[in-house]
């Protein structure tokens, strides 16, 4: 069986080193993690005319990587002085469409950092726009999180405490509809969420940073690739129901 195709939405950037004009970027670490886990990464272009459903029909799974801040207007707030916007005005809407398309079609999805925040906002949740100094440093550090017992995350990486590579200045405020918390930091910051029964994991940390040496982070990429492989078999055999489940 060929490697399952794992879509990775690119971040449209006004400047990319080595290009004369704008470009679409994906962190190489994310792509390497997918390959290491047995998948074939496919960069998804935000400017395509295809709907999310049309793009997803060609793929077996999705990894939604981190990036710039989600527009505060999407959760009824005004941007503060720390706001770091996307270069492309349609980036938030595009990636939100991919998330909802994955959930609608049971396409396995691993959402990272910004991906978790978009999932939350798309379901009516809010974000804390900036985390000030506190008990836990969340930007540019490794810190422990507590994984919720009985969660899909615990099934994938194990329960109890896990050390994670953190690089974010925003966090979930009000939890979005239909989401459950799968991990938290000691200061109460939500570190992972799930949609019960769906083949989806969303983490606030960056597993691509340490997946080469951290078994639990590598397991996240293994999970999405293996779930994608099962879905491909089910689609081929005409029995999609439950293909991407736990």
Which residues belong to the active site?
Answer: 113, 206, 208
* Tokens describing residue 63: 């990894």
List the beta strands (DSSP E) in 23-95.
23-25, 40-44, 61-64
- For residue 165, the 8-state DSSP code is E
List 124's β-bridge partners, or say none: none
144 near 162, Cβ under 8 Å? Answer: yes
176 near 124, Cβ under 8 Å? Answer: yes
Residue pointed to by tokens 């804390």: 128
Residue pointed to by tokens 């950092």: 113
Q: Report the alpha-carbon distance of residue 175 to residue 189 in Å, rounded.
A: 11
185 near 128, Cβ under 8 Å? Answer: no
User: Coil, strand or helix: which one is 140?
Assistant: strand
225 near 4, Cβ under 8 Å? Answer: yes
């Amino acid at each position: 069986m060929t490697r399952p195709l794992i879509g990775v939405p690119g971040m449209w950037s006004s400047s990319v080193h080595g290009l004369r004009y704008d470009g679409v970027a994906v962190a190489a670490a994310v792509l390497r993690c997918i390959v290491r886990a047995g998948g074939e990464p496919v960069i998804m272009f935000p400017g395509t005319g295809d709907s999310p459903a049309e793009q997803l029909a060609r793929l077996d799974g999705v990894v939604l990587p981190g990036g710039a801040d989600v527009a505060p207007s999407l959760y009824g707030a005004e941007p503060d002085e720390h706001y770091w916007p996307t270069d492309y005005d349609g980036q938030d809407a595009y990636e939100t469409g991919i998330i909802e398309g994955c959930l609608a079609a049971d396409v396995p999805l691993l959402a990272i950092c910004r991906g978790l925040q978009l999932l939350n906002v798309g379901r009516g949740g809010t974000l804390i726009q900036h985390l000030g100094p506190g008990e836990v440093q969340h930007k540019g550090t490794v810190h422990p999180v507590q994984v919720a017992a009985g969660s899909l995350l615990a099934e994938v990486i194990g329960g109890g405490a896990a050390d994670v590579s953190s690089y974010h200045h925003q966090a979930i405020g009000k939890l979005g509809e239909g989401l459950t918390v799968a991990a938290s930091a000691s200061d109460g910051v939500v570190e992972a969420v799930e949609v019960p029964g769906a083949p989806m994991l969303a983490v606030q940390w960056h597993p691509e940073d340490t997946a080469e040496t951290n078994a639990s982070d590598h397991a996240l990429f293994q999970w999405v690739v293996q779930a994608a492989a099962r879905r491909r078999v089910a689609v081929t055999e005409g029995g999609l129901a439950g293909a991407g489940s736990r």
